[in-house]
Amino acid sequence: MGHNELTEQEILRRESLDKIRELGIDPYPAALYPVTHLSSEIKENYKEEILEDGTKNRLNFQDVCLAGRLMNMREAGKAMFMNIQDADGRIQLYLRREELSENDDYTFFDQLIKKLLDIGDYIGVKGFAFKTKTGETTIHVTSFTLLSKSLKPLPVVKTDAEGNVFDAVSDPEFRYRQRYVDLTVNQGVKEVFLKRTKMVNAIREYLNEHGGIEVDTPVLQNIPGGAAARPFITHHNALDVPFYLRIANELYLKRLIVGGFDFVYEFSRNFRNEGMDRTHNPEFTVLEFYVAYKDYFWMMDFTEKLLEKVALASNGTTDLPVGNNIISFKAPYKRIALYDAIKEYTGFDVNGMDETALRDVCKKLNIPTDESMGVGKLIDEIFSEKCEKNFIQPTFIIDYPEEMSPLTKKHRSKPGLVERFELMVNGKEVANAYSELNDPIDQRMRFEEQAQLMERGDDEAMFIDHDFLRALEYGMPPTSGIGIGIDRLAMLLTNQQSIQEVLFFPQMKPKQEN
């Protein structure tokens, strides 16, 4: 179906639109509409009492103004019942022909309200609350306004008295491409996103309480640093140079630590030009924060307390259902060294192995490798393929090999290792943190090792950032930093199995438009 081919329903709605204009009614009025109440407020708080003479005394909501989307309607003699949906839910309306007509002119009621309205139209009503014989809180409408005519029919989703849903809109392809329809007809979807907002607000509150300062750093970067990932490349016309969408904001936040800030954080929209699956989207949100005069031990303590608070704020409990498991975000969390985890789940002690030995281990474990992979990448693959999935309860995997962590301080007591942890929850990485490398000479050597990997064909190896090295040469205090995947955390706190369920508008393969 091309752009110019309308369905029968769409043709009928356009005809209704013309007839509404013929009645002298503007289907898209510009005036402010003075909403006073939301549906949930009235439904939860409406009260009435029966007096001694048997009459009802309505105690509140006797003068209300609501607006929302028309979701169903039915005739009842010379009256109509409707349901509208606003930002907080649905409420029933009761409209009487006589009360909405003037001087025996019933055109408005008989034409507009009975014949020219459609499911999906936005309407505004004024009136008073009462309870019907069946006990349903309802608005008796005394004034009615069409606010916006809908030209496409919504999918009809029905719920019976027992709460069973019929004709649910469940096709992910449709739901993600047309999220506006998904949010309208699927009642639980908005709750997921409201919970995500509560989560972000709770994080921000906790960081602010502990002295954090929220900052903004560039999305367009001339060197994509701070992570191992393939970047998106764009072009700056005025400067005639390539720019990259950021893969991380780490190196800029550390520049601010050099500049004298002790605790900075940013909710960073990052971009990685990689595959999409249930836990990866090319555009995603990471919280990063950096605290001067701290190390990764302090950061573990702080992180588990932060996540405990966030679970409570968004769900009212620290024990959350995630898939078939109950995950406890209550601090403290278990800690296990990376090499110990690999030994426990593969039987191999990879500590001190060179590239050849690691390739042999990968072969025995049926893990595919290629020539571009160095020691760090090989160990990472072994852990990702064979160990990660086993850590369901929050667990800090600590003490990574130096080759895996080019921005991390060498371990104070374990040669060949660095002071790094990753937080695993439900078999996936949720956070990555270091005692930050602040030795500029060591940092330059690590960058040069990354450059060699890039020459071997590793398209996720890090670029050398000379300005960042210059910043370190001015002196950076001992610092600990962390990145927390906000989308993955939202998946856990809302019990969603796919990252697309916690992103309003996930990336989708382009589709031939109808």
What is the CATH number for 110? 2.40.50.140
Query: By the 8 A CB rule, do 248 and 286 touch?
Result: yes
Joined together, the tokens standing for residue 358 give: 């690691």
**Domain endpoint, select from 99, 130, 154:** 154
**Overall domain count for the chain:** 2
**Are 263 and 129 part of one and the same domain?**
no
Q: Cα 356–358–359 angle (5° rounding)?
A: 65
Are 75 and 128 within one domain?
A: yes
pLDDT at 513 (0 to 100): 62
For the record, the structure tokens of 376 come out as 């760090």
> Are residues 283 and 140 part of one domain?
no
Residue finishing a domain among 104, 134, 154 = 154
Q: Is the residue at 2 inside a domain? A: no
| Residue 365, in any domain of the structure | no
Range of 105's domain?
Answer: 8-154
Return the axis-axis angle of helices 189-209 and 486-494, rounded to nearest 10°: 120
Crossing angle of helices 466-474 and 250-258, in 10° steps, is: 30
Per-residue confidence (pLDDT) for residue 1, from 0 to 100: 47
Q: To which residue do tokens 């927390």 refer?
A: 484
- Across the chain, which distance is largest between two alpha carbons, in Å? 94
Q: How far is residue 76's CA from residue 74's CA, in Å, rounded to a whole number?
A: 7
Q: Which two tokens stand for residue 433?
A: 């943190």
Residue 425 covered by a domain = yes
Among 126, 154, 182, give the residue marking a domain's end.
Answer: 154
Do 208 and 120 share a structural domain? Answer: no
Q: Strand locations in 334-381, DSSP E?
A: 334-337
* Residue 298 belongs to some domain of the structure: yes
Tell me: do 225 and 302 sit in the same domain.
yes
- Does 107 reside within a domain? yes
Residue 376 pLDDT: 87
Alpha helices, H only, 23-68: 39-45
Q: Give residue 226's pLDDT.
A: 86
Compute the distance between CA of residue 261 and CA of residue 253 in angstroms, rounded to an integer. Answer: 9
- Shared domain for 142 and 252, answered yes or no, is no
The torsion angle over the Cα atoms of residues 280, 246, 225 and 255, rounded to 10 degrees, is: -130
The CA distances from residue 266 to 127, 204, 239, 289, in Å, are 46, 9, 27, 7
Quote the tokens at residue 275: 């595959």
| Beta-carbon contacts of residue 121 (< 8 Å; ≥ 6 apart) | 69, 70, 146, 147, 148, 149, 150
Q: Are residues 96 and 245 in the same domain?
A: no
What is the pTM for the complete model shown? 0.91
Note the Cα 513 to chain centre separation in Å: 26
- Confidence (pLDDT) at 220: 96
Contact 299, 191 (CB under 8 A): no
pLDDT along the chain (514 residues), means of 10: 78 98 96 95 94 87 97 94 96 96 87 96 97 95 97 84 75 94 94 97 98 98 88 96 96 97 98 92 97 98 98 96 97 97 96 93 95 89 96 97 90 94 97 97 92 85 90 98 97 96 93 66
- Residue 242 bridge partners (DSSP): 235
Rounded Cα distance between 482 and 373, Å, is 25
One domain, residues 412 and 481: yes
Domain match, 261 and 398 both: yes
Chain position carrying tokens 């009645």: 23
Same domain? For 249 and 328 the reply is yes
Report the C-alpha gap between 282 and 279 in whole angstroms.
Answer: 10
Co-location of 437 and 318 in the same domain: yes
| Strand 213-214 with 263-271, pairing | parallel
Return the pLDDT at 31: 82
Closest CA to 125 of 153, 83, 156, 163: 83
Q: Does the residue 411 lie in any domain?
A: yes
- The C-alpha atoms of residue 474 and residue 488 are separated, in whole angstroms, by 36
Tokens linked to 205: 């509150």
Closest CA to 250 of 226, 283, 231: 226
Query: Does some domain include residue 33?
Result: yes
Claim to verify: residue 220 and residue 297 sit in the same structural domain: yes
Token output for 309: 């608070």
Q: Which residue from 410, 390, 206 is spatially nearest to 303, judged by alpha carbons? A: 206
> What's the pLDDT at 511?
78
- Asked if residue 186 belongs to a domain, the reply is no
Provide the CATH number for the domain around residue 478: 3.30.930.10
* pLDDT for the residue numbered 403: 84
